[in-house]
A and B are shown apart, each in its own frame.
Chain A
Amino acid sequence: MSERVIIVPCSGIGKTYGTVTREAAYLVTEDLRTETTTIVPLSLLVLGDEEARAAVQDARVISMDGCKLACATLNVRQAGGTVAKDFTVLDVFRRNKALKPQGISELNDGGLALARALADEVAQTTDELMAEGVDHA
């Protein structure tokens, strides 16, 4: 089992919520939980890249989806991985309705704040998964 939690954001390019997942993924892996998380790009999973498939098959995976089509979650499962926890931006938005995201290339302040809220939830789940891993070791 990988020592790090794998983060898979949706990568959606056409909608704001996709950008929110991407921003949140970077927040978690570059700022909040640099030692315990890493990103696996969805594009590699789509292509069936062996290294990416092996990574999600041998790790605790957190997926982050921008819409109900849940591409990140579905692609992890199709690659043979198990999603420990799946997040959708819409659910986080419902819990933080004051944070209205706009923009795709560049998120507005609301979008950045929403990404931070999502990242905080993902970081907390990462801690729980890491603790479970220690308990079960």
Chain B
Amino acid sequence: MPNLPKRKVGIVACSGEELPAGTVTRLAALKVLEELRPSETVTICLPLFLAGGEGDRAFAKFYPTIAVDGCEKRCAARATELYSNKPAASIVVDDILAQSNLPGPQGLRRLSPESRPVVEALADAIAAEVDHLMAVRWSRTEGAILETGPAPTAGVSTSACACGSGIPVTTVQVGGRAVQIMALEPILELAYNQGLRANGAPSTGSGQVLPGEILQTVQVYNPVPAGEEDLYAEALSRAWHAYCEQREGQTHG
């Protein structure tokens, strides 16, 4: 398997500027990211979902996310589901207020001192959800919890932030249309480092010159529609040849 970034939990806060509860989500998310669970969490930038943040979208497709919203419009939860994958958990400030019997927060730019307990309670709730999600088994291919039980600990690497350093996405042409392939680059790198090489011209249909391991590994991380295996194999074959040429150019150049 390719060396994908270490599993972390992504936190998507609504950060809404027009509500005190939006400021609460922002401060609580930052508290979790900076103080409570810095090693287990990354922030995912909500506006980047729409502005073309492929790294952020890809992260949320592979890894569990917690959407933290200031109101019932649930912008963070709904936008995450719309552009990437359903959040593993969704928390709304009102729910925390009800559970903790706290008054509604006051202040936009600066929360009132009386509102700090709301931030603390929300941060604690997020941290508890992070602990839960780190403890369960997570399916990268389905983007969902597999079952309850301890998480496997093998095969991890580090990644500081989902912004631009999450799972790489490569766009290839499949049957004349652009398709995003998750983790293609580390998959090709792994195959090359294992000694596989491109032989002959890129395949034009059956994928006979594409090492079978590559298509199989791609299918672990990407849905390949039934009946389109040959088209994907052809596209991957072109990418594989280009990758090998690039690597060999680096070696000889």
Contact = CB atoms under 8 A, between A and B. Distances in A.
Interface of A: 9-14, 22-23, 25-26, 30, 39-47, 49, 69-72, 74-75, 78, 104-105
Contacts of B47: 10-12, 42-43, 45-46, 71-72, 75
B15 A11 contact: yes
Contact of A26 (B17, B27, B43): B17
Contact of B34 (A45, A74, A105): A105
Given A41-B14, A43-B76, A47-B78, 17 more contacts: A11-B46, A14-B161, A14-B163, A23-B109, A26-B108, A41-B75, A42-B15, A42-B47, A44-B75, A47-B73, A69-B51, A69-B53, A71-B47, A71-B48, A74-B51, A75-B47, A105-B34
Nearest to B35: A105
A72 B46 CA distance: 11
Given A23-B109, A30-B109, A74 B17 contact: no
A78 B83 CA distance: 14
Contacts of B14: 41, 43
**Which of under 10, 10 to 19, 20 to 34, or 35 or more describes the interface residues of B?**
20 to 34
Interface in B140-172: 161, 163
Contacts of A43: 14-16, 22, 46-47, 75-76, 79
A70 B50 CA distance: 11
Given A44-B73, A49-B73, A39 B49 contact: no
A94 to B, nearest CB: 22
Q: List the 7 closest pairs (A to B, CB-CB), nearest first.
A: A71-B47, A26-B109, A43-B75, A71-B51, A74-B51, A47-B75, A41-B16
Contacts of B79: 43, 46-47
Contacts of A10: 47
B55 to A, nearest CB: 11
B17 A39 contact: yes
B52 interface: yes
Nearest to A21: B17
B120 to A, nearest CB: 13
A38 to B, nearest CB: 9
B16 A13 contact: no
B144 to A, nearest CB: 22
Contacts of B34: 104-105
B13 A13 contact: yes
Interface in B16-62: 16-18, 22, 26-27, 29-31, 33-34, 43, 45-53
Contacts of A75: 47, 50-51
6 contacts: A13-B13, A41-B16, A43-B46, A45-B47, A45-B50, A47-B73
Contact of B75 (A49, A78, A104, A105): A49
Nearest to B78: A47
B128 interface: no
A74 B73 CA distance: 22
Contacts of B52: 69, 74
Contacts of A71: 45, 47-48, 50-51
B35 to A, nearest CB: 10
B82 interface: yes
B87 to A, nearest CB: 14
A46 B27 CA distance: 20
A123 to B, nearest CB: 16
Contacts of A46: 46-47, 49-50, 75, 79
